[in-house]
A and B are shown apart, each in its own frame.
Chain A
Amino acid sequence: MRTRASVCLILLLVSALLLASELLFNGQQVYPDDPNNVTASNVSEFGQNRAVAAGRLSRDPSGLLRIRASAACPT
């Protein structure tokens, strides 16, 4: 029982660290689809999740994260 409680506590601490990490990193710089537009927005993980759910987040060949104008859902 004590082992189970210890491992459970460690897992909860790890998850707390992960959740805190997101606050620490504070999102990603995401660019619009237009390659000439160099104005990036700082998008939190929640925002990235929404963009992923809409099939709109992609990474261009130069490695920049971009919000696609049209959705591309693999389903």
Chain B
Amino acid sequence: MAMAEKTRFAGFFARLQPYRLWVQTAFLMVWLDPLGIRYHGICAPVFHCYACPLATFGCPIGVLANFSALHLIPFITIGLLIVVGALVGSLFCGWACPFGLLQDLGARFPTKKFELPRWTGHFRFVVLGALVLAIPYFFGEEHPLFICRVCPAGGIEAALPNVVSQAIAGQQIVWPSVLKLTIIAVFLVSILFIRRPWCRVLCPLGVIFSSMNRASAFFLRFDREKCTSCGRCTKLCQYNIEPEKSPNDLRCIRCLECTGCKLGALTPDTILHGRRKPAAETVLPAGEPTPGA
């Protein structure tokens, strides 16, 4: 029974995999205020600026940075981030984040894609430690390197839509700073040539979630016995990770593309399913009739 449940669980994600872009789009409808009701008191576990005219929920990184500048501790936001990280790790990055969706759409342009060195992923810790926590704490929100001032999500989801809404309303247009416009331009160009550049190199929210990939209740199980070292999972992974060596890697966004392994060596799993031998592999004593025979 437990094995059947495990297969069902892995099968569910296998069936959903081709529609990942649609799942991301469906989540976008949640983040973009479909009912016209704002819940800015609560943070969503995704990277979506709450200054966006349509944002339903608050941005956890914006809250962390602003609370740090105010010398307050956002208990609920930190608690929420740990709950999500402990349950699913970085699954929201791959399946629900609107900023990830934008980058995935950019990656669909038929341009040559460049690979990033693996060590660049460590910049995310620098962004989290310096731009989100230390600089706001010591220098306040007026500092030019305060995360919200340099955040491309804030520029694309908030600053540019606000310019448009001001223009439509006939109000005086408040243009974003030159620095902000440059960051937006660099980001928009980079998503055409690099897959998920923000998520892989700079995202402070992604590094919080992916730090818990190795401990989360939802995880990627690698079955060494089924693996033939064909390298298919490494080819399927678009983020320069070797899933057979590190299935729950710190840089993984849990897009689950690598679970397309035909042999089933990589499968999504949870701690609720105990590790059991598949029924087909059970060796029966000689002469014993097979079940159903």
Contacts and interface: CB of A to CB of B under 8 A. Distances in A.
B63 A49 contact: yes
Interface residues of A, number: 35
The binding surface of chain A is classed by DSSP as: helix
Contact of A25 (B63, B75, B214, B275): B75
Interface string B147-158: 011010011001
Given A50-B40, A73-B51, A21 B149 contact: no
Given A4-B219, A19-B76, A75-B155, A53 B212 contact: no
A54 B40 contact: yes
Contacts, number: 117
Contacts of B98: none
A57 B155 contact: no
Contact of B148 (A8, A54, A74): A74
Interface residues of B, number: 50
A65 B66 CA distance: 12
B79 A18 contact: yes
Interface string B189-231: 0000000000000000000000010111101000000000000
A42 interface: no
B146 A8 contact: no
B76 A22 contact: yes
A19 B75 contact: yes
B209 to A, nearest CB: 12
Contact of B271 (A1, A16, A46, A47): A1
Interface of B: 40-43, 49-51, 55, 58-59, 62-63, 66-67, 69-72, 74-80, 82-83, 85-87, 141, 146, 148-149, 151, 154-155, 158-159, 176, 180, 212, 214-217, 219, 271, 274-275
Given A17-B79, A75-B151, 6 more contacts: A11-B215, A15-B80, A18-B78, A28-B72, A47-B41, A50-B58
